[in-house]
Chain A
Amino acid sequence: MGKSYQERGVFICDEEAKNIYTNKAYQEMTGCTREELLGLGWTSCIHPKDLPSVWSQALRLYSRNSEMENRHEIQCEFRLMHRDGSFIWANCQPVDMSGFSGVGTFVGILEDISWRKEAEESLRQSEERFLLAMQGSHDGLWDWDMVTNKVFYSRRYMQMLGMEAEESNGNFSVFESRIHPEHHNAVITSLGEYLSAHGLDSHPFEVETPLQMKNGTYLWFRMRGQALWDRNGTAIRMAGSITNITERRNWEEEQARLIANLADARDKAETTAKARSEFLAVMSHEIRTPLNGVIGMASILLDTASTPEQQECLETIRISGECLLSIINDILDLSKIDAGKLNLTPVPCNLRNLVEDVGSLLALRGEAEGVEMVVHYRSALSAVFVDAVRLRQVLINLVGNACKFTHKGYIAVDVSIVCSTCHQEFFLGQKQYQKEISDRVFFPKEFNKSSSHCGEEEQLSPIQMPHQMLQWFRFSVIDTGIGIPADTLGLLFEKFTQCSTTGTYGGTGLGLAVSKKLVELMGGSIGVESTEGIGSKFTFIIPLELDPSAEQGHRAPTNDLCNEEAHEEEVHSVAKADRLPKFAEQRRVLVVDHHEMTKEVVCEQIRAWGMESRACNNVSEAVTILKQSTHENEPIHIENFGQEMERARAELPALKGPQLIMLGHVGQSLPSQPVLAELGCCACFNRPTRQAYLRNALAVALAGIPTTLALPHCTLNTGKLQNLHFGPFSNPCLLFSNGKEAVKGEDSPRSLTSASQSTVHKSRVLLVEDNKVNQMVAVRLLNTLGCTVTVACNGIEALSILECPSTYDIIFMDCHMPGMDGFETARLLRQENHASHTVPIVALTAATSEGEVEKCIASGMDDYISKPVTKAILQRALDRWVGQESCCMTAGTDLLP
C-alpha cells in the first residue's frame, strides 16, 4: 500500500459488467493499460477476499433498484489489486446509468481510502489491545460518569466481585453497597475529601477496604482512581481499578502475627535467661554463705586443734570447702559468659604489678615442695587498659594449675609483647617443646649481651607506629610439672574434662574452660603445649590498649635507679638525683642464689639497669669470686640470705666492702632491723623477686648508707623510701639469697602453710556502711583480722575522710546508703585528681544479682563481696587486695622502736 492516489478512478461497464471505459487514474491504480482493461469485468481487480461482500452489496443494489431513491448513496469498500500484487483500499461509488443508453449501464467512481483504512486499523488494534489488557489484567476497571451516576464495571471487575451481568451497568451504589460496614464511612469520607480537593496534580485516590463477595464473604481490595473536574471544580468523571490484595493482607497479618510470636518467644527466652541468671546468683549466694561458714569454722578450729590427726581432718574440710567454693564460682562465671552477661570493664592498670601480684600470691603454694616461682615480665610497657579482675582470674587459674601439678623444678610466668603478625600464627605450629624451654622462653644467652629487654619488641616498634596504642601481650605459664598426655591436650579447654587426673588432683577442670572463654572475650586466644613428665606451657595472647596518660616506665638501661625511684614514688630529692647516676654504671652486683630461674631473672634485670651482674650458687663460690674481685679492686654487690649470711660474713674478710641485700624466702617474716644490721645487710625483701623491691633495695645499697641509720623503716617491701636519708655513698653492696635448706631446720612446710592461712592483716580499713548493726559486726570481724577500722556512715562522710592521700589500704563500701550511695561515692573517688583514687574499693552488696555487680564494677569498684560478711569473706578480700605487701608490712612495723 505504498502508493496513494489523488485522482479518482472511473470505469464504465456494459450490461455484462465488462469495462467499456477506464480513465487514467483507474489504469494507474490497477497497473493495467486501457486495452488490457477493456472487456475485463469490473470486479476482476477486486481482492478475492472482498469479492463476496462486494457481490452481496451489488446484488442488494440491484434488488432495491426500484424502490430506493437515493441508491446512489450506497457505497462499498474493497481492496483494489494492482497487477504487481499490491493493493489499495478503495471506496467505490456506483452510478446506475441504465437509463441512459449508449453510455453503458454502470459507472463506478473509485476513491483511494487507504489512509483512512490505516487509521481505522490502528484504532481497532489499539482498542483490541486495551480490551485484551483489560481482560488479561487481574485488576477490575470501573468508569464512573458522575453526571449521570452511571458506572461501567469491566468484566474482570464483575468476575472479581462475583457480580451478575445485569449489574454491569449499575451506578455507584453497586460499589458502595459492597463496602464492609466497618470501613464504609472511612472509604466514603476519604473519597469525598479526594473529590473536593479537585486537583489533577493531586495523587490518585487510593483506599484499601474489604468488599463483599457474592457469597457474602469479604475480601480485601485496593481501589485506585483518578477523577476529572469541570471548570467549576465539580467532579464529573472518575475512573480507576480495583486490585485484590487479600493475599497481601493475609501475608501481612501473618507476618505481624509471626513477629508478635517471635517477640513473645524472645521475651519468654529473656525472662527465662534472666530467671536462670538470678537463680544462679541466688543459689550461688545461698550455697556460698553456708560454705563460707564451713570453711571459716574449719580455719578457726584448725588453729586450736590439738592433735595432728584433727588438724589433718580439719585441713581436709577446709581444702574441700575451698575447692567446692571455687567450683561454684566457676560455674557461675561460665553461666554468666554463656548468657552473654559477663561484660569486661577495662580500667587503667599496671600490668607488671598485676602479674607480679599473682606470682607473689601463689608462690607460697609451691614453696612447700621447693618449687620455685619466677615472674619474668619482659616488656617495658606496663600501663594498659585491661579488666584487671578477669585477667587476674585467668592468671591465677593457670598459675594455680601449675602449682597443683608441679612437684619439683619451677613455675615461670613470662610476659612479653608479640607483633601483630606473629599473633596470628600463634598456635599454627607446635614447636618442639624442649627447644622452647631452653632457647626461647627461658632467658636466652644473647639476652645477657643485649641491653634491651626484648629483641622482638625492638623490631616491632617501627612497624607498629600507627597502631602503637594497641599491643598484643603474650602470657606464658611454664611449669616443670607432670605434663599432659598428647591425646588429651585438645580436650583440655572443654568443660568438665580434666584429663583423667581428677581422681588424684581434684577439681572439675572448669577453670580452664572459664579461662578460655575469658581470654576469648578479651579478644585473644589460648593454647597449650605439653610433654608428659617434662612440663606444660600454657600461653595466651590478648590485645591490650596502652594507657597514654600513664608513664610507661620505659627507661634507657643507663638510667640510674634513684631517678626511677623519684619518678615512681614521687619523691623529689634533688641531691639524690644528682648524686647517684655517677656511680650507677660502675656498680657490680653478685647474685648468690641456688634457684636457677630467680638468679637469671635478677641478673637480667640488673643488667637492664645498666649495671654488671654475675651469679653464683652458694657462699663458697661467692667467697672465691669476691676474693678475686677485691684483689682486682672491683666493687661488688651481692644478694643472699640468712643463716648462710652469717657464715658468709665470717668467711669473707672482704665483706667489709660490699653492701648486702638479703633475699628472703617466700612468705618468710623478714628479720628485724637490728638483726638485719647485725647480719650486715642494708635491705631485705622476699622472693619471688619483684622489680620494685629489687630496685628499691639496690637504691639503698648503692646509696651506701650505713645500715643502722639507713633504714628507719626497714620495710622495703612497702616500696616506700620517702623517709630514707641518703648519706654520701661509701661501700659497695652485696646481694644474697637464701637457700631452701637454710630454713628447713626452723620452719617446717606445715608451719609455713598455716602461717599463710592465718595471715594477719594490719591493714587500715575504711568501712562505709550506714547500718549500725552491720557496722558493729564488720568492725569486730575486721579487728579480729588485725585491721584498724574507720567507719563512715555514708558516701559524703567517706569522701571527706579520704581527702588525705593514701591513709587507707582498702575501702569496704556498702552500695545502698542514704545521702550518697556507694556507686556515686566510688565514681567520685575514682576521679584521677582524687587523693585516694588508687585505694582498692570492695563493694558490700546484699544481692549478688547481675545488675548490682555490674554497677559496682562500672562505678569503679574493684571487687564485691556479698552480705552478710563473714570472717572468711573479709579475709579473702584482704588477701586479694592488700595481700602480701601488708603481711610484709606487718613484719616491718613490728620492728619499729
Chain B
Amino acid sequence: MDVAKLLQQHVDLMDDMFKEGLLDEQFNQLQQLQDESNPNFLEEVVSLFFEDSQRILENMTETIGKDPIDYKVIDSQVHQFKGSSSSIGAQRVKNVCVTFRTYCDKEDKKGCQDALEEVGEEYNLIKKKLETMLELEKQIVAIGGTLPFMEGC
C-alpha cells in the first residue's frame, strides 16, 4: 500500500467520524498536541481513554445490576465517563452521558439501564473507529509518511 492511499483512507475515516458526530473539535486539538517531541501522544491518550472507559463501564454495569441501585454511585461514575469522553472529544458518548445523568437524577431505573446500554454501544463504535485510525496512522508512519495534522509541526 502506498502512502497516498493510506492517507486518503485516514482522511476519509476522520471525515466520517466528524460527520457522524462521533468526534468534535476537542479531538482536533489533541491531534495538534502530537509533534516530534510527543510522536505517540494521540495513541497514548486514546489508549488511556480505552483503559479508563473499560473500567468505568464495568463498574457501571455492576452498579446498575445491584438492587436497589445506588443512584449517587452511578451518577458519579457517569460523571467520570462524561469527563473523559469530552476530554477526548468523543461527543456522542458524552451526549449519552448527559442524558444518563438526568435518569440518575430522576432515579429512573429503566432509563438508566437503557442509557447504560446505549453508552456501551456508542463507546464500542468510537473505539472501533479510533482503533482503525490508530492502525492506519501506524502504517502511515511505518512506511515513512507524515500524518496530515503533523505537517508543518
Interface positions of A (Cβ within 8 A of B):
289-290, 293, 296-297, 300, 304, 770-774, 776-777, 780-781, 784, 816, 818, 846, 867-868, 870-871
Contacts and interface: CB of A to CB of B under 8 A. Distances in A.
B74 interface: no
A412 B58 CA distance: 61
B25 A846 contact: no
Contact of B44 (A293, A776, A871): A776
A780 B46 CA distance: 13
A726 to B, nearest CB: 42
Interface string B129-145: 00000000000000000
B49 interface: yes
26 contacts: A289-B25, A293-B25, A293-B29, A297-B28, A772-B48, A773-B48, A773-B52, A773-B83, A773-B87, A773-B88, A774-B83, A774-B84, A776-B48, A777-B87, A777-B88, A780-B30, A780-B45, A781-B29, A781-B33, A784-B33, A846-B79, A846-B82, A846-B86, A868-B87, A868-B89, A870-B26
A780 B38 contact: yes
Nearest to B81: A771
Q: Which 5 A-B pairs have the closest CB atoms?
A: A773-B84, A293-B25, A771-B83, A774-B87, A868-B86
A868 B48 contact: no
Contacts of A290: 25
B41 interface: yes
B152 interface: yes
Contacts of B49: 773
B80 interface: yes
A784 B41 CA distance: 12
Contacts of B102: none
Given A846-B82, A867-B83, A867-B87, A777 B28 contact: no
Contacts of A868: 26, 86-87, 89
Interface string B1-42: 000000000000000000000000110111011000010010
Provide the main secondary structure of the chain B interface: helix
A776 B33 CA distance: 11
B59 interface: no
Contacts of A773: 45, 48-49, 52, 83-84, 87-88
Given A773-B84, A784-B33, A816-B76, 20 more contacts: A290-B25, A293-B25, A293-B28, A293-B29, A296-B29, A297-B28, A773-B87, A773-B88, A774-B83, A774-B84, A776-B44, A780-B33, A780-B41, A781-B33, A818-B76, A846-B79, A867-B83, A868-B26, A868-B87, A868-B89
Contacts of A867: 83, 86-87
Provide the main secondary structure of the chain A interface: helix
A304 B83 contact: no
Nearest to A294: B25
Given A777-B30, A818-B76, A771 B25 contact: no
A776 B44 CA distance: 9
A867 B84 CA distance: 10
Q: Which of B25, B83, B86 has the most CB of A within 10 A?
A: B83
A816 B48 CA distance: 20
Contacts of B87: 771, 773-774, 777, 867-868
Nearest to B35: A784
B88 A304 contact: no
Contacts of A776: 44-45, 48
B82 A871 contact: no
Contact of B84 (A771, A784, A818): A771
Contacts of B41: 780
Interface in B53-107: 76, 79-80, 82-84, 86-89
Interface residues of B, number: 26
Contact of B83 (A293, A300, A784, A846): A846
B45 A871 contact: no
A544 B82 CA distance: 42
A530 B89 CA distance: 50
Contacts of B28: 293, 297
A491 B75 CA distance: 50
B84 A871 contact: no
A300 B28 CA distance: 12
A820 to B, nearest CB: 14
Nearest to B83: A771
Contacts of A784: 33
B42 to A, nearest CB: 10
A24 to B, nearest CB: 112
Nearest to B38: A780
Interface string B98-119: 0000000000000000000000
A18 B83 CA distance: 131
Contacts of B83: 771, 773-774, 846, 867
Contacts of B32: 300, 871
Contacts of B51: 772
A289 B33 CA distance: 18
Contacts of A300: 32
B145 to A, nearest CB: 20
Nearest to B33: A780
A770 B48 CA distance: 13
A770 B80 CA distance: 9
A895 B116 CA distance: 56
Given A293-B25, A776-B44, A780-B38, A816 B79 contact: yes
Contacts of A816: 76, 79
Nearest to B151: A304
Contacts of A296: 29
Given A773-B48, A773-B49, A780-B38, A871 B29 contact: yes
A867 B89 CA distance: 11
Q: Which of B26, B28, B82 has the most CB of A within 10 A?
A: B26
B130 to A, nearest CB: 13
Nearest to B86: A868
A818 B89 CA distance: 23
Contacts of B52: 771-773
Contacts of B38: 780
Contacts of A780: 30, 33, 38, 41, 45
A870 B33 CA distance: 11
A669 B84 CA distance: 39
A831 B99 CA distance: 38
A289 B76 CA distance: 24
A522 B41 CA distance: 47
B29 A772 contact: no
A671 B83 CA distance: 44
B45 A777 contact: yes
Contacts of B45: 773, 776-777, 780
Nearest to A297: B28
Contacts of B48: 772-773, 776
B150 to A, nearest CB: 12
A290 B38 CA distance: 25
A490 B25 CA distance: 44
A296 B28 CA distance: 11
Q: Which of A289, A777, A816 has the most CB of B within 10 A?
A: A777
A818 B83 CA distance: 14
Contacts of B88: 773, 777
Contacts of B80: 770-771
Nearest to B34: A780
A409 to B, nearest CB: 41
A867 B83 CA distance: 8
Contacts of B89: 868
Contacts of A293: 25, 28-29
A870 B86 CA distance: 11
Nearest to A844: B83
A357 B79 CA distance: 37
A649 to B, nearest CB: 42
B73 to A, nearest CB: 11
A816 B75 CA distance: 12
A379 B87 CA distance: 47
Nearest to A871: B29
A868 B26 CA distance: 8
A846 B86 CA distance: 9
